[in-house]
Homo-oligomer: A and B are copies of this chain.
Amino acid sequence: MNAITSQIDSSERPRVVVIGGGFGGLHAARQLGNRPVNVTLIDRRNFHLFQPLLYQVATGGLSPGDIASPLRAVLHRFGNINVVQATVTGFDPARQVVKTDKRDFPYDYLVVAVGAENSYFGNEQWGAAAPALKSVEDALAIRQRIFSAFEQAELCDDPQKRKVLQTFVVIGGGPTGVELAGALTELVRETLADDFRSIDPRESRIVLLEGGARLLPSFPESLSEKATRRLHKMGVEILTRALVVNIHGSVVRFRRAGQESSLEAAAVLWTAGVKASPLAELLASAAGARTDKSGRVIVGPDLTLPGFPNIYLVGDMAHFSHGLPEPLPGVAPVAMQQGRYAARAILRRLKGKSVSPFRYVYKGNLAVIGRNHAIADFGGVRLSGFPAWILWVLVHIAYLVEFDNRMLVMFQWAWNYLTRKRGARLIIGVDPKNSTDPH
């Protein structure tokens, strides 16, 4: 008998296992902190990653340490929570056991929040040519591509090649694509503007390809138009209704208005799609549950797995559509609310109380476009420009989990805002082998 299970047995409290230290899992665990349950939080990584700011790491504005909090430090004050760094390898819902590469973890209640990873819609071979932005390693690899391109361009005598080295293509016009294109534009127009002698970074091309009819389709049309105008003004070339047909080496081929064109770029960045972590499929097949076309597991009104009332699924891996025109999107606020709901539901059920179905409270939708521009939608109220940007900054700082990081990032941002500098431009070696989903 091992140390952890013997400790749990001796205390005879119900065992809750939470898988995933992202927004969903972390908020579930915190809600269970110092309550009469024994919690084990399992994650492949030893840190919570504030993914909404990963694009800042990729463009040299922040260091990985600024947007990551050690899970142990975040949960340190809850004596009833064990943090375990391990990779989940299987589920046995009948025996109530989670299998990992380290050992098995039996549970009375299970909260699964393993999130999503990038999807190339069946063209996974595009991944090498067009990295996506999901992990710290992804962000550092993208940073390396961007800054190396300028170093190469500075030394390049061939004007045609130099043009390619100063071209960047972002695929996907959702919030991440827009944020990345905006940050890249500011990087080349402001931060790097006077740093080179043979090239003019201002002449760089930032191209944003979107398959649909407009950018930011999750926002009302008026805000989406405002964002488009702003990006255009900043110098981003926006191509909507552009369907990528192939990415190979440095060349993107896409179809638009019946014609095929191609672009050659120093870096092609992919933000066009996500799918649930493969663990969602693993759990679904172990439990005989259904998944949607993005690999998300379809959950009941109380977020439980059909037939397994002690298994809760939260966040990007859960397909929840009860009473809604379409399933809830894979965004941080949904994951946080679901994580807290699952934890509260477990605590209520342990007391023999009833649990009402999950209801998502929409608190608004934000996207940042540049150093002092954002759009915000609160149903009735819509904001854009500087006021929306201030709101975006406040919301993001408020949600940075640890006070430590919050202060530091605020300080970094204030500094970057005043100076337009990006200090974290190191080109360092990162190992893409470790670049997988955060769970």
**What secondary structure prevails in chain A residues at the interface with B?**
mixed
**Complex Cα gap A66–B421 (Å):** 13
Q: Which of A109-117, A191-199, A205-213 contacts B (4 or more CB under 8 A)?
A: A191-199
Return the contact of A412 from the options B4, B82, B195, B408 (Cβ within 8 A).
Answer: B408
Residues of the B chain whose Cβ atoms lie less than 8 Å from the Cβ of A432: 429
**CB atoms of B196 and A72 under 8 A apart:** yes
Q: Which of A71-123 contact B (CB under 8 A)?
A: 72-73, 76, 82-86, 102-103
A326 lies within 8 A of chain B by Cβ: no
Pick the contact of A7 from B47, B148, B197 — CB < 8 Å?
A: B197
User: What CA separation (Å) do A2 and B431 show in the bound complex?
Assistant: 34
Tell me, in angstroms, the Cα distance from A434 to B144 when the chains sit together: 13
Rounded to whole angstroms, the CA-CA distance of A151 and B82 in the bound complex is 11
**B-facing residues in A194-250 (Cβ within 8 Å):** 194-198
A408: chain B residues within 8 A (beta carbon):
408, 411-412, 415, 423
Contact A46 B431 (CB under 8 A): no
A364 to B148, CA, bound (A): 39
Please state if A73 and B421 are interface contacts (CB–CB under 8 Å): yes
Name which of A19-27, A291-299, A378-386, A399-407 contacts chain B: A399-407
CA separation between A405 and B426, bound complex, in Å? 13
Q: Is there contact, CB below 8 Å, between B157 and A426?
A: no
* Chain B residues, CB < 8 A from A194: 76
Binary contact track A264-306/B, C-beta < 8 Å → 1, others 0: 0000000000000000000000000000000000000000000
Closest B residue to A72 by CB, please name it.
B195
Contact B425 A428 (CB under 8 A): no
A3 at the interface (CB under 8 A from B): yes
Contact A423 B86, CB 8 Å, known A196-B72, A197-B4, A429-B431: no
A114-143 interface bits toward B, Cβ cutoff 8 Å, 1 = contact, 0 = none: 000000000000000000000011001000
Specify the chain B residue showing the minimal Cβ separation from A76.
B195
24 A–B pairs (Cβ distance < 8 Å), ordered by A = A2-B157, A7-B197, A7-B198, A46-B151, A46-B427, A63-B66, A65-B426, A70-B425, A72-B195, A73-B421, A73-B425, A83-B195, A84-B155, A85-B148, A85-B151, A86-B155, A137-B428, A404-B415, A407-B415, A408-B408, A408-B423, A428-B434, A429-B430, A431-B431
Given contacts A72-B192, A428-B430, 11 further A-B pairs with CB under 8 A are A4-B197, A4-B198, A7-B197, A64-B428, A72-B196, A82-B197, A85-B151, A137-B428, A404-B423, A428-B434, A429-B435
